Amino acid sequence: MVCFRLFPVPGSGLVLVCLVLGAVRSYALELNLTDSGKATCLYAKWQMNFTVRYETTNKTYKTVTISDRGTVTYNGSICGDDQNGPKIAVQFGPGFSWIANFSKAASTYSIDSISFSYNTGDNTTFPDAEDKGILTVDELLAIKIPLNDLFRCNSLSTLEKNDVVQHYWDVLVQAFVQNGTVSTNEFLCDEDKTSTVAPTIHTTVPSPTTTPTPKEKPEAGTYSVNNGNDTCLLATMGLQLNITQDKVASVININPNTTHSTGSCRSHTALLRLNSSTIKYLDFVFAVKNENRFYLKEVNVSMYLVNGSVFSIANNNLSYWDAPLGSSYMCNKEQTVSVSGAFQINTFDLRVQPFNVTQGKYSTAQDCSADDDNFLVPIAVGAALAGVLILVLLAYFIGLKRHHAGYEQF
């Protein structure tokens, strides 16, 4: 975690901002806003990213994910006074900003609205946008929270308006902090009251579960992520989700015809995010190791189940689909990615290349059968050596027996 102490915000003291670094897929922010007496007046910690659909100069449409544009500033964030309510103001580059406004009633405070502005004139993010300029999307929320309670929402919240999709999760916020101390009383959002957001705890004796109905092989879909005009990630795969919740097991085939893909590409990490009407997000995060290989490092999922509940699991310590940089990974047979005891993904007809895609095509593939061959070779060699050793021992004992028999006849 890297912390920056910024300059004073007028009427609000100093702002301490911590940016959580790692396999960055979002803005992961923590804000402790203090008043002139250096007492905390507003606390917030949250993650967010934005997906924008825009028209290009050749009259087609593209989608870009805004998840990390470098240095973040907080000019205009205030604790609030008799005339103005508290406000969080975030800037992350020329023409890109985000604002949250709060107000207070007798026994509650509210998150009133959120405003997001983006700049299609930025040639790095929107290199081929037809219309250039700063566009703003305003969302009225009116989320009421008991005064002196900390609002928590770990579940993914999505706001959609005017070709912009805003994603928020792992949210903690308290405005109008009393006596400079953030409350330990939490007020949960509705989604968290019914969702499973904590990692699965494995027990030594598994609870009995119902047996899911077998599913047919899922249809393979082709997904891609663009970086500007170039394709930077390719994936083709049939996906089958195995979920266990409340001792009930279910198998879900992903339909590629109703599934959308977004993501991002960086020098050492790449993200493929799938979503549909029932899947809030299914993230595949790839990483580079030893500067010459890539692998699947992380899977995150949040989705609606048939009973209306939300199922959420994350694991950032995986090691699947290992292949050299500059190549793709391919496996036509069924494979299983075990994310947790409650969530596994079966893949079929898999091929993926998250780095060094050229001309929008896959590079030479490393087949998963090579892993099997590498595993079988030492077994075969060991078996052959064991066979030779047995033959040598047999020959020795036969020769020894004949030698003794010769002595007895003499």
Quick one: 267 exposed, middle or buried, by C-beta within 10 A (0-12, 13-18, 19+)?
exposed
Percent of the chain exceeding pLDDT 90 equals: 54
pLDDT at 124 over 50: yes
CATH node for 221-369: 2.40.160.110
Q: Report the alpha-carbon angle 135-141-147, nearest 5.
A: 135
pLDDT at 208 over 70: no
What pTM was estimated for this model as a whole? 0.48
Mean of the per-residue pLDDT values for the chain? 82
Per-residue pLDDT tens over the stretch 311-340: 888 898 999 999 999 999 999 999 999 999
* Other C-beta atoms lying within 10 Å of the C-beta of residue 298: 20
Position 198 scores a pLDDT of 40
User: Is there a contact between 65 and 48 (Cβ–Cβ < 8 Å)?
Assistant: no
Q: How far apart are CA 237 and CA 351, in angstroms?
A: 6
Residue intervals in the chain for CATH 2.40.160.110:
29-192, 221-369
pLDDT at 310 over 50: yes
Over residues 203-213, mean pLDDT: 45
- Identify the CA nearest to 328 among candidates 215, 218, 201, 236: 236
DSSP tag of 387? H
Spatial neighbors of 188 by CB under 8 A, at least 6 apart, are: 152, 153
Spatial neighbors of 34 by CB under 8 A, at least 6 apart, are: 12, 13, 14, 15, 16, 40, 41, 79, 180
CATH architecture of residue range(s) 29-192: Beta Barrel (2.40)
> Which of 157-171, 307-321, 393-407 has the lowest average pLDDT?
393-407
Of 395 and 337, the structure prediction assigns the larger pLDDT to 337
User: Is there a contact between 330 and 351 (Cβ–Cβ < 8 Å)?
Assistant: yes
Per-residue pLDDT tens over the stretch 8-66: 333 444 343 333 333 334 567 889 999 999 999 999 998 888 888 889 998 888 888 88
Partners of residue 199 on adjacent β-strands:
none
Over residues 286-311, mean pLDDT: 89
Q: How far apart are CA 89 and CA 272, in angstroms?
A: 29
